[in-house]
Amino acid sequence: MTHSIAILGASGYTGAELIRLIDGHSAMQIKALGAYSKAGQSIAQVFPHLRHLDLPDMVSFDKIDWSGIDLCFCALPHKTSQEVIRDLPKTLKIVDLSADFRLRDPEAYAQWYGNPHSAVEMQGEAVYGLTEFYRDDIAAARLVAGTGCNAATGQFALRPLIAAGVIDLDEIILDLKCAVSGAGRALKENLLHAELSEGYHAYAVGGTHRHLGEFDQEFTALAGRPVHVQFTPHLVPANRGILATTYVKGDAQKIYDTMAQAYLNEPFIEVLPMGEAPSTRHIRGSNFCHIGVIKDRIDGRAIVVAALDNLTKGSSGQALQNANLMLGVEETEGLMMAPLFP
Amino acid sequence: MTHSIAILGASGYTGAELIRLIDGHSAMQIKALGAYSKAGQSIAQVFPHLRHLDLPDMVSFDKIDWSGIDLCFCALPHKTSQEVIRDLPKTLKIVDLSADFRLRDPEAYAQWYGNPHSAVEMQGEAVYGLTEFYRDDIAAARLVAGTGCNAATGQFALRPLIAAGVIDLDEIILDLKCAVSGAGRALKENLLHAELSEGYHAYAVGGTHRHLGEFDQEFTALAGRPVHVQFTPHLVPANRGILATTYVKGDAQKIYDTMAQAYLNEPFIEVLPMGEAPSTRHIRGSNFCHIGVIKDRIDGRAIVVAALDNLTKGSSGQALQNANLMLGVEETEGLMMAPLFP
Amino acid sequence: MTHSIAILGASGYTGAELIRLIDGHSAMQIKALGAYSKAGQSIAQVFPHLRHLDLPDMVSFDKIDWSGIDLCFCALPHKTSQEVIRDLPKTLKIVDLSADFRLRDPEAYAQWYGNPHSAVEMQGEAVYGLTEFYRDDIAAARLVAGTGCNAATGQFALRPLIAAGVIDLDEIILDLKCAVSGAGRALKENLLHAELSEGYHAYAVGGTHRHLGEFDQEFTALAGRPVHVQFTPHLVPANRGILATTYVKGDAQKIYDTMAQAYLNEPFIEVLPMGEAPSTRHIRGSNFCHIGVIKDRIDGRAIVVAALDNLTKGSSGQALQNANLMLGVEETEGLMMAPLFP
Amino acid sequence: MTHSIAILGASGYTGAELIRLIDGHSAMQIKALGAYSKAGQSIAQVFPHLRHLDLPDMVSFDKIDWSGIDLCFCALPHKTSQEVIRDLPKTLKIVDLSADFRLRDPEAYAQWYGNPHSAVEMQGEAVYGLTEFYRDDIAAARLVAGTGCNAATGQFALRPLIAAGVIDLDEIILDLKCAVSGAGRALKENLLHAELSEGYHAYAVGGTHRHLGEFDQEFTALAGRPVHVQFTPHLVPANRGILATTYVKGDAQKIYDTMAQAYLNEPFIEVLPMGEAPSTRHIRGSNFCHIGVIKDRIDGRAIVVAALDNLTKGSSGQALQNANLMLGVEETEGLMMAPLFP
């Protein structure tokens, strides 16, 4: 059985990644591609790398006939997404890649995003899309909110440890190194090749990055008491990849055992042998996440390092994994391709 | 039906690329991985990006039981390859990725490679592996010689034009820009990140690059008279990609029509609309080759630009395409994945 | 004696490079920095890398007191530059880095730039700023037009050969590889790191690049008859550098001797030993230009490769070299710093 | 007065950087360049980017006439350095860029470097070369031990805070992001462009990096009690730069004030306005170090970020700064060049 798919906001990087992945999927077919400024253009114009595919042209959203669509991926900017999704048919399954439905608490949303939510009634309905931890809810959901790519990486490194109570909840530091495609295709000076190549730096330092809203929500719910991590993202001169270096306090061996046990049967999460650290070069273009646990020379401390591809496992791959569950397809379908190396 | 595959020289970049592609192939299974210095290591040690795969360990060549193997890819260094292949079972189908069997004439081989060939008797047997132009021979062959990655790119741009007689055969200039993975995993100073990043240059200037042996052989055979092109490769700070800028003399429209016609039914060759030039960002990680034809402001001149991924269409992808033909599998099997962008 | 300097359009890359160079100059002091959108900002805001310098804030142009200024560098966009320069004090010495006064013929200007010139009366006054070939005129000039960075590179490779008549004037091909800072700090999709890194391509193919106007003007004047070269620029994933690969017909040894002789006493032009090719990694951040001459395997053909830093020798370094001449300062002052490697 | 300089180990990256800097120095002249495998080669062969300079050829060490040399920079590999320096004339001033004389305690040396020291008697004589904190000792020293580049960066971020007692000494975490030139010109697989570009990772995780020996020695001495920091370096795809993200506990404003006060009169250390974070793009090729202090959202915590160029301020620039002091030259001579941007 083939499911009919639409993508709104198809002209950005996550849109391109969705198309790439769905092209290799045995049970999905793209029926509509929605875009704003690039509406009216063919796939060859918007994405010359996809010119060999037989795909519909980009159209404005009002031109899409929803009657035959089973599931819609929304790869729209934050704030736009909630307004668009609010007006989509109520029977349509939706995977939202924006930040709009990640936070269940309207006040938390308003605090982190600076505006009141315009589809508050749907916030409660949305399921948080971190597949490995919300499988059943996602399978039953109509609306799934894809996680932030940084938020996903940090949670893969920390959730099992917080759940098992093997680390000090008040002493968690997350130092992330993010590749530039995570910032999207926006025209900003600091995303220019001339600025970024040979120039890397921290940003949103001091706890102002919006993905902290997700960390707070998820870790607090998991621990049953407030957990606030310290989180500093860095922009590095690479296109794909997130490397999360996590500093935790606890027994390293216990941490390792907890981690290895938690992900034992997960198809996409690879826990490396104790003491090994992952590299972004080993997950590029794939849906895999590599996690390493290393004991520090200081007793009672450990470093947990997680690596994934922000556009795949951190965004569009996760979205497809969730869509598979929502449509009753094998969860790994279309997602098992090996990383691209070098 | 599943074909059993061995890879010799599996620990280099083309070996890694072969494993990646075969992992996505429905009718092949890797039974043996042969290596030299990395013999005895597991796939996770040699290629951490492939640690999720269930693959045999790397072994030395004498440990391989050839009885159940249908086809062997040889991704060995030049000169080593001929010695190894000479001693393989005569019933084994072989796709050689080295330069050793590309030149049919032993004297031409000795001239370009500086040593006499040690398996002269097999040189005649080998079929030149440029799939689109040697399909029938490849399908019937036991030993196929993969082409040079530069040689493939240049030939995609020029063969139809030489065959059709629409360009001046004495005035062909090939200016190539090659990414660094084409140089392999060898430890050389000029391949270091610190040297190459922000440093690009021409090499083998003046007609000393060995792939010229292939151009001479193929273009001369095609034209029925000696054709010697001028060819300058450049190393650029990128990992994957070859961009061939070809300067030819002839009627641009006729050149375009010839090109478009020649590749009309080719699944992997995309001729862009007249006047458009391709980019390596649009073919990365894929088996596609994009070709553009542009009329110059000077009458009677045109520029033909071809772009492909040196590790895929230029090497391991081509090898798999040939193996498919040799094994009677659909030619495109395992090779239709979309490029990775960005 | 210290000369007082103003820079208009100081907030772009060539502006930053001018400030860097003048900071190391013994006889110049920056008195005014003019900008548009960044007027009102301090140097630390616009260029954090220059925060240690004691420099005036960026101001809008009408706030500059010209009475004490000896020389003004104009690093403004094309078309804007002519309008601004037209209204500057007539006693002010000016080095213009834009394209506005490079072409002496108003019709050629209109053809290449698509609009009539708005300061036609000054076009005749302006001296073409290729220092090594217009020294005396530049020293006597009030208004010097900096050359295009591609145009400079190509001319360094070809002028001596055209002047000496040692190459075929109808068979010149220029294949350039340009780093991204040459495109300036403009916010364009193809200048994003995610697009350019791992993605290189030809642009303005077929003879549409505006620097051809300069080649035509200069080579034709030099040869005393029309000379039209074929010119294809490529954008490569690097920040600084231009590599011009020039295909010419003539006797390689004669070409080499002509080149070596022509630049024998030039402080910034290094002709490499016969057969060696330059690399952009060896000129980065400096005012040097490296030139190599290589004999091709085809008799009567040679390849001339020139490398320089587009922001230094190709633009701001050239501008300072010209300013030195105009102010009676030693030509090399402030420009002898060694390249940055790696 | 011009001082005569020798450089041993001149063919590596720090050697090249020393030559670049000394070329712009008004009171130093290079009289001898010593190398191992490249002995006998000219500067143009070893460093084509320096071919315009009039410099002696590389020679083996025994060919150097020390009688006229005032100061020698040793840019040799660890362990080799101590053996070479042990046998140099006792009257010669020496700046060692290796790790061999950084640790004053022979046991600490043996622990971190895995071998007994072969010039123990000189370990006591050597002065630790962190200029800003050992000025008087350096000015009086005969042998100065250049610091590790990571060690320098971390110390710039932390020394004033430890000295002033404004941070918790048991809760210091240093997360460093290092560019690849810090690893030198060695031929290692992980330094290849194809591996590093698009692939970044942590290394020496868990407290095994040798620069920890320096942190322990210096911070413990400074605090008057044992201080052991947690330190994780990462290799990122850039050529030059170290970015140290330091997590500390203490009052952010007090930390900022302490920092600003400590470096108020330092010519090379720039403390950014409170809340701003530095970028490596703003110090490239210069001797400047930028430091930012940011308050975290968690009370009582702050992030201190320091950025410098590993080859300049982190190594060869520091060495020259020390040499200036040792020779009685103005400390900043030859070191005030502005960073290269972009």
Same domain, D163 and D276: yes
Kindly write down the DSSP assignment for every residue of C118-170, as one continuous string: S-HHHHTTPEE--GGGSHHHHHH-SEEEPPPHHHHHHHHHHHHHHHHT-S-TT
How far is B205 from D305, CA to CA, in rounded Å?
46
How far is A19 from A13, CA to CA, in rounded Å?
10
Beta strand D143-145 with D93-96 is: parallel
Q: Name the one residue in this structure whose structure tokens are 């404004």.
A: D166
Residue B186: the pLDDT is: 85
How far is A243 from A306, CA to CA, in rounded Å?
6
Q: Is B41 helix (H, G, I), strand (E, B) or coil?
A: coil
CA atoms within 13 A on the CB side of C132: 23
Which residues on chain B are in Cβ contact (under 8 Å) with A279? Answer: 48
**Residue B228 Cα distances to A68, B172, B217, B249, angstroms:** 58, 8, 9, 15
CB-CB: which of C13, C194, C195 is closest to A194?
A: C13
Residue A188: phi and psi, rounded to 5, are: -125, 145
Distance from CA of A191 to the nearest CA of C (A): 6
- Cis bond upstream, residue D342 (ω within 30): yes
How far is B172 from D223, CA to CA, in rounded Å?
72
Residue B29: phi and psi, rounded to 5, are: -135, 135
Residue B263 lies in a domain: yes
How high is the mean pLDDT of chain C?
97
Same domain, C300 and C157: yes
Which residues on chain C are in Cβ contact (under 8 Å) with B247? Answer: 173, 175, 230, 247
Diameter over CA atoms, chain A? 62
Mutate to test the interface with C, among B111, B112, B175 (most CBs of C within 10 A): B175
Q: Give yes or no for a contact between B127 and B138, defined as CB atoms under 8 angstroms apart.
A: yes
Cβ neighbourhood burial of D104 (10 Å; 0-12, 13-18, 19+): middle
What end-to-end distance do the CA atoms of chain D give, in Å?
A: 36
| C139 Cβ contact partners less than 8 Å away, ≥ 6 residues apart | C325, C326, C328
What are the b/e assignments for C217-254, b being 16+ CB within 10 Å? bbbeebeeeebbbbbbbbbbbbbbbbbbbbbbbbbbee
CB-CB: which of B237, B281, B282 is closest to C238?
A: B237
The model's pLDDT over A150-190, given as tens digits with 9 standing for 90+, comes to 999 999 999 999 999 999 999 999 999 999 999 988 899 98
Residue D239 lies in a domain: yes
| Closest residue in chain B to residue C277, using alpha carbons only | B202
Same domain, D240 and D293: yes
Distance from CA of A64 to the nearest CA of B (A): 25
| A53 Cβ contact partners less than 8 Å away, ≥ 6 residues apart | A19, A23, A43, B338
Rounded-to-10 torsion of CA D291, D293, D294, D300 = 150
CB-CB: which of A47, A283, A290 is closest to B341?
A: A47
CB-CB: which of D24, D47, D341 is closest to C341?
A: D47
**Is residue A318 pLDDT above 90, yes or no?**
yes
Q: Give yes or no for a contact between D123 and D134, defined as CB atoms under 8 angstroms apart.
A: no
Residue contact B197–D239, C-beta within 8 A: yes
The total number of structural domains in chain C stands at 2
| Closest residue in chain B to residue A17, using alpha carbons only | B341
How is residue B277 written in tokens?
Answer: 């030039």
- Cis bond upstream, residue B233 (ω within 30): no
> In chain D, what are the helix, strand and coil shares in percent, each to the nearest 5?
35, 20, 45
Q: Is D16 helix (H, G, I), strand (E, B) or coil?
A: helix
CB-CB: which of B230, B238, B303 is closest to C198?
A: B238
Which residues on chain A are in Cβ contact (under 8 Å) with C191? Answer: 192-194
Same domain, B300 and B252: yes
- Give strand pairing partners of D248: D302
Residue D261 lies in a domain: yes
Same domain, B172 and B128: no
Residue D1: the pLDDT is: 84
CA nearest to B154, candidates B99, B226, B221, B233: B233
Residue D333 lies in a domain: no
Q: Name the one residue in this structure whose structure tokens are 């084994």.
A: B92
**Is residue A1 pLDDT above 90, yes or no?**
no
Same domain, A107 and A161: no
A26: domain CATH number?
3.40.50.720
* Span C138-160, average pLDDT: 98
**How many other CB atoms are found less than 10 A from the CB of residue B220?**
15
Residue A17: phi and psi, rounded to 5, are: -70, -40
Residue A2: the pLDDT is: 96
DSSP B62: G
Q: Give yes or no for a contact between C280 and C259, defined as CB atoms under 8 angstroms apart.
A: no
Same domain, A114 and A225: no
Q: Is A286 helix (H, G, I), strand (E, B) or coil?
A: coil
Residue D188 lies in a domain: yes
CB-CB: which of B23, B51, B338 is closest to A50?
A: B338
How far is A296 from A303, CA to CA, in rounded Å?
7
Distance from CA of D237 to the nearest CA of B (A): 8
Q: Looking at chain D, how many residues does it have?
A: 342
Neighbours of chain C (3+ CB pairs under 8 A): A, B, D
Catalytic: which of D72, D74, D149, D178? Answer: D149
Residue B338 lies in a domain: no
> Could you list the residue range(s) of the whole structural domain that residue B50 is in?
3-147+313-327
Same domain, D110 and D184: no
Mutate to test the interface with B, among D11, D46, D193, D239 (most CBs of B within 10 A): D193
Residue D63: the pLDDT is: 96
Residue B69 lies in a domain: yes
Residue contact C200–B279, C-beta within 8 A: yes
**What value of ipTM does the predicted structure carry?**
0.96
Q: Is A73 helix (H, G, I), strand (E, B) or coil?
A: strand
Residue contact A187–C185, C-beta within 8 A: no
C296: domain CATH number?
3.30.360.10
Residue contact B290–A48, C-beta within 8 A: yes
**Is residue C156 pLDDT above 90, yes or no?**
yes
* Span A131-142, average pLDDT: 98
**Is residue A8 pLDDT above 90, yes or no?**
yes
CA atoms within 13 A on the CB side of D99: 23
How is residue A254 written in tokens?
Answer: 């216990």
What are the b/e assignments for C279-293, b being 16+ CB within 10 Å? bbbbbbbbbbbbbbb
| Closest residue in chain D to residue A240, using alpha carbons only | D198
The model's pLDDT over A38-65, given as tens digits with 9 standing for 90+, comes to 999 999 999 999 999 999 999 999 999 9
How high is the mean pLDDT of chain A?
97
Mutate to test the interface with A, among C193, C239, C240, C311 (most CBs of A within 10 A): C193
* Span A261-285, average pLDDT: 98
Q: Give yes or no for a contact between A183 and A255, defined as CB atoms under 8 angstroms apart.
A: no
> Where would I find the beta strands (DSSP E) of B90-156?
93-96, 127-128, 143-145
Same domain, A124 and A241: no
Q: Give yes or no for a contact between C176 and C204, defined as CB atoms under 8 angstroms apart.
A: no
How far is C172 from C207, CA to CA, in rounded Å?
13
Q: Looking at chain A, how many residues does it have?
A: 342
Which residues on chain C are in Cβ contact (under 8 Å) with B278? Answer: 201
Which residues of chain B have a pLDDT value below 70? none
Mutate to test the interface with C, among D28, D52, D197, D266 (most CBs of C within 10 A): D52
DSSP A244: E
Residue contact B199–C307, C-beta within 8 A: no
| Closest residue in chain A to residue D252, using alpha carbons only | A206
pLDDT above 70 covers what percent of chain C? 100
Q: What is the residue type of D315?
A: S
Distance from CA of B108 to the nearest CA of A (A): 33
Which residues on chain C are in Cβ contact (under 8 Å) with B169? Answer: none
| Closest residue in chain B to residue D192, using alpha carbons only | B192
Which residues on chain D are in Cβ contact (under 8 Å) with B195? Answer: 193
**Residue B150 Cα distances to B99, B110, B315, C113, angstroms:** 12, 20, 10, 37
How far is D255 from D300, CA to CA, in rounded Å?
10
DSSP A158: H
How is residue B77 written in tokens?
Answer: 């260094």
Q: What is the mean pLDDT of each run of 10 residues along chain D (342 residues)?
A: 96 97 98 96 97 98 96 96 96 97 96 94 94 98 98 98 98 98 90 94 97 98 98 98 98 98 98 98 98 98 98 98 98 98 96
CA nearest to B240, candidates B291, B192, B279: B279
CA atoms within 13 A on the CB side of A161: 30
| Closest residue in chain B to residue C237, using alpha carbons only | B237
How far is A155 from A175, CA to CA, in rounded Å?
13
Which residues on chain D are in Cβ contact (under 8 Å) with B197? Answer: 193, 197, 237-239
How far is B176 from A268, CA to CA, in rounded Å?
39
Which residues on chain A are in Cβ contact (under 8 Å) with C185? Answer: 189, 192, 194
How far is D73 from D34, CA to CA, in rounded Å?
10
CA nearest to D145, candidates D323, D22, D334: D323
Same domain, D118 and D164: no
The residues on D that touch B, with CB distances below 8 Å, are 13, 180-181, 185, 187-189, 191-198, 237-239
Residue B194: the pLDDT is: 95
How far is B75 from B78, CA to CA, in rounded Å?
9
Q: How many helices (H) and strands (E) does chain C have?
A: 11, 14
Count of CB pairs separated by less than 8 Å, C with D: 98
What are the b/e assignments for D105-127, b being 16+ CB within 10 Å? eeebbeebbeeebebeebbeebb
Strands ordered across the beta sheet of A242-249: A201-202, A230-235, A173-178, A242-249, A301-308, A289-295, A269-271
Same domain, C59 and C141: yes
DSSP A111: H
Residue contact A180–C193, C-beta within 8 A: yes
Q: Name the one residue in this structure whose structure tokens are 């300049």.
A: D312
Same domain, A135 and A157: no
Q: Is C289 a catalytic residue?
A: no
The model's pLDDT over C306-339, given as tens digits with 9 standing for 90+, comes to 999 999 999 999 999 999 999 999 999 999 999 9
Q: Give yes or no for a contact between D283 and D241, defined as CB atoms under 8 angstroms apart.
A: yes
Mutate to test the interface with D, among B11, B187, B193, B311 (most CBs of D within 10 A): B193
Residue C340 lies in a domain: no
Residue contact D341–C16, C-beta within 8 A: yes
**Residue C88 Cα distances to A275, A279, C64, C194, C322, angstroms:** 67, 56, 11, 41, 19
How is residue D143 written in tokens?
Answer: 């042998």
**Is residue A135 pLDDT above 90, yes or no?**
yes
